[in-house]
Structure 1
Amino acid sequence: MASSLSSHFLLQLLLVISIIQSSSAARKISVTDQTQEPLLFQYHNGPLLTGEVSINLIWYGQFRPSQRAIVSDFIASLSSRKPTKAQPSVATWWKATEKYYNLVKTKNSSPLLLSVGTQVLDESYSLGKSLSNKQIVQLASKGGQKDAVNVVLTSSDVAVEGFCSSKCGTHGSSCPGQCAWPFHQPIYGPQNAPVVAPNNDVGLDGMVINLASLLAGTATNPFENGYFQGPKEAPLEAASACPGVYAKGAYPGYAGDLLVDSTTGASYNAHGVNGRKYVLPALFDPSTSTCSTLI
């Protein structure tokens, strides 16, 4: 029987915990991979994330208010009490995670409702411009300590241990060839032209993709004993199991047939609050064992 997370908790969503699709060390799953060898996600009997959860943002370095709004509007779009009428939407994308909960028939638990919590600004680089994993944990502790997920976001002039070589997390425009695809030309693989970022910011739009992936994994595998496939130390989770897939027709080096804004030429696949548009990753559908996209 599934368990749910009912007691007070703190999750620190660190920039160093996940290997994202654009990293050279990430597993690349092509259409052929999915066709010949379907992924079989396993539920490991641990709690899923439930109830009202605040997403606290710790901004380390220099970010303009307009940049911070791109991320906070994305989070607000996930579980907005006033859903976006335009479709496809961020809320519809997030609703796909409910399939994980439905499969295990979680009882006596509240639906997961995410909201923007505290935003902490550290514009003076209090720990310097080269951060270790230990210092990232220290920064994460500046957020709320109850029923919260704390997210540290670093500006492009900050070096973080392990970034670019093996992971991206949510790291602005640093190493864009690895961490900001499909908005930047990839370092490896097919060299298709990059798409135009929906909010006209390669770093922040790439950050949203990575944050979306991490949040989906956090909801369905918060303590490394929920839903995942592969080794616990490097699991494939709800979004990381579908690297590089954003719309139907995707193949290595091509994000898929994204929608295009007729005015700006920007690509997107989801509408958010305040008129926002975003590109969000495919999510693994545990009921069909396939990667599911919004469009």
Structure 2
Amino acid sequence: MASFVSTHLFLQLLLAISFFHFSSAARRLAESDATQQPLLFQYHNGPLLTGKIAINLIWYGKFKPSQRAIISDFITSLSSSTPPTATQTSVATWWKTTDKYYHLSNSKKPSALALSLGTQIVEETYSLGKSLSNQQIVALASKGGQKNAINIVLTSADVAVEGFCMSKCGTHGSSKGASVDGKSYKFAYIWVGNSETQCPGQCAWPFHQPIYGPQGPPLVAPNNDVGLDGMVVNLASLLAETATNPFGNGYFQGPKEAPLEAASACPGVYGKGAYPGYAGDLLVDPTTGASYNANGANGRKYLLPALFDPSTQTCSTLV
């Protein structure tokens, strides 16, 4: 069973009056310094992910090779050794915001986290059916390596998952794995679903018209795939939260059962000037018209969410 699960917040939560503290965090970048109220993140003294960690991908359902490449290139981009030019922003630069959590948790000897693309498991036969429970997601995640690993389950557009589109776009958590070399380890896992046909207005915004709130025009997806580009947004959020709060006792604010974490503290923010219904001032590809804020491996472009910077207590964006 998962010891900790965090859901990526829907855009509708950003816009709902009853969740005002979420929307005020999203507007933080548009407010003046004089009016900003700091969001106090707490470190709960638990371990963060450290060392060399393999990211294993478990593909459940039908995905085209070109779709799998969008995700695998994103994972590879996290640790790219090629520095961006002076006019470029990169996925690796975005990921470096998580380093600040490590420095604050252990200022005397900060630990390093090195991510790499691990194994990929393709499960196209729907062995567990097309309607999955949370327990079945954990079972699928356990197919990946269970030591020094993050196992990511990605479900295709025709697969329903418990709570998907009703309360979540994805989850992260941890589970006790099998014994390795006589020792039992916890492994971290993530699940993200392709929302293209089920709820793109909730889980693929800003690449699709939102169901609630301001009805601005949707942005052009940088990889020309609304479902997969939406998955990248949710995966990026959950990956940052997995690194900084893998077992439920790392960095978060609020109750453990419904915490604000590194990305969920900044919902709907992708660039400076963001406000409800507007993702922010982004870069635009002059050829395709696609909106993005990060360059990745193999010439990829991605739109990545703002992350909460614990050193400044504000939401940090690439552009």
Q: TM-score, normalised by structure 1?
A: 0.90
The structure 2 residue matched to 1:245, chosen from 269, 273, 278, is 269
Given that 1:181 and 1:206 are in contact with CA atoms closer than 8 Å, whether structure 2 keeps it comes out as yes
Q: Considering only aligned residues, what root-mean-square deviation do their CA atoms show, in Å? A: 2.1
Amino-acid identity (%): 74
Unpaired segments of 5 or more residues in structure 2? Answer: 29-34, 171-191
Mean CA deviation greater in 108-117 or 187-196: 108-117
Tell me how far 1:92 sits from its aligned partner.
0.4
Give yes or no for contact 2:55–2:118 (8 Å, CA) kept in 1.
yes
Structure having the higher strand fraction is: 2
User: What does 1:216-295 correspond to in 2, within 5 Å?
Assistant: 216-295=240-319
Paired residue for 2:70?
A: 70
Which letter does structure 2 place at the counterpart of 1:81? Answer: S
1:125-274 equivalences in 2 (<5 Å): 125-169=126-170, 170-172=192-194, 173=196, 174-274=198-298
| Matching residue of 1:44 | 44
Larger displacement relative to structure 2 (34-43 or 19-28) = 19-28
2:23 corresponds to: 29
1:73 counterpart letter in structure 2: D
- Gapped runs of 5+ residues in structure 1? 1-11
In the alignment, structure 1 residue 53 sits paired with structure 2 residue 77: no
- Amino acid paired to 2:23: I
Does residue 114 (structure 1) correspond to residue 115 (structure 2)? The answer is: yes
Alpha carbons of structure 1 residues 71 and 121: separation in structure 2 relative to 1, 3 Å: same
Q: Distance in 1 between matches of 2:25 and 2:261?
A: 18
Output one character per residue of 1:105-139: Cα deviation in whole Å (capped at 9) or x when no partner. 35556410111111000101000000011111111
Which letter maps to 1:208? Answer: V
**How many Å separate the matches in 1 of 2:251 and 2:136?**
28
User: Structure 1: how far apart are the matches of 2:304 and 2:237?
Assistant: 8
Q: CA deviation at 1:210?
A: 0.4
2:122 aligned counterpart, secondary structure: strand
Cα offset for 1:25? 4.8
Q: Deviations over 1:146-178 (max 9, x none)?
A: 100001000010000001110001211231010
Give 1:21 deviation, angstroms.
Answer: 3.4
Could you tell me whether the CA contact under 8 Å between 1:31 and 1:251 is conserved in 2? no
1:74 maps to a residue whose letter is F
TM-score, with normalisation over the residues of structure 2? 0.84
Residue 36 (structure 1) shift: 5.0
Provide closer, same or farther for how the CA distance between residues 32 and 275 of structure 1 changes in structure 2, counting only shifts above 3 A.
Answer: closer
- Give the stretch that moved more between structures: 120-129 or 73-82: 73-82
In the alignment, which residue of structure 1 is the partner of 2:181?
A: none
| Cα displacement string for residues 197-231 of structure 1 (whole angstroms, at most 9, x for unaligned residues) | 00000000010010000011011111111110000
Q: How many Å apart are 1:287 and its aligned residue?
A: 1.2
- 1:45 corresponds to which letter in structure 2? N
Cα displacement (A) at 1:235: 0.8
Task: Give the distance between the partners of 1:72 and 1:13, measured in 2 at CA.
Answer: 27
Aligned partners of 1:115, 1:164: CA distance in 2, in Å?
30
How many angstroms apart in 2 are the aligned matches of 1:257 and 1:65?
32
Larger displacement relative to structure 2 (28-37 or 233-242): 28-37
Query: Residues 147, 257 of structure 1: CA spacing in aligned structure 2 closer, same or farther, 3 A cutoff?
Result: same
- The aligned counterpart of 1:8 is none
Distance change in 2, residues 1:92/1:53 (3 Å): same
Deviation of 1:104 after TM superposition, in Å, equals: 2.4
Aligned residues: 283
- Are residue 100 (structure 1) and residue 88 (structure 2) matched? no
CA distance in 1, matches of 2:304, 2:26: 22
Separation in 1, partners of 2:307, 2:246: 16
Counterpart CA distance in 2 for 1:130 and 1:64 is 21
AA aligned opposite 2:77: S
Check 1:91–1:168 CA distance in 2 against 1; reply closer, same or farther (3 A cut): same
Structure 1 stretches of 4+ with a deviation exceeding 3 A read 23-28, 30-37, 81-86, 106-110
Q: Give me the whole-angstrom Cα distance separating, in 1, the residues matched to 2:60 and 2:3.
A: 14
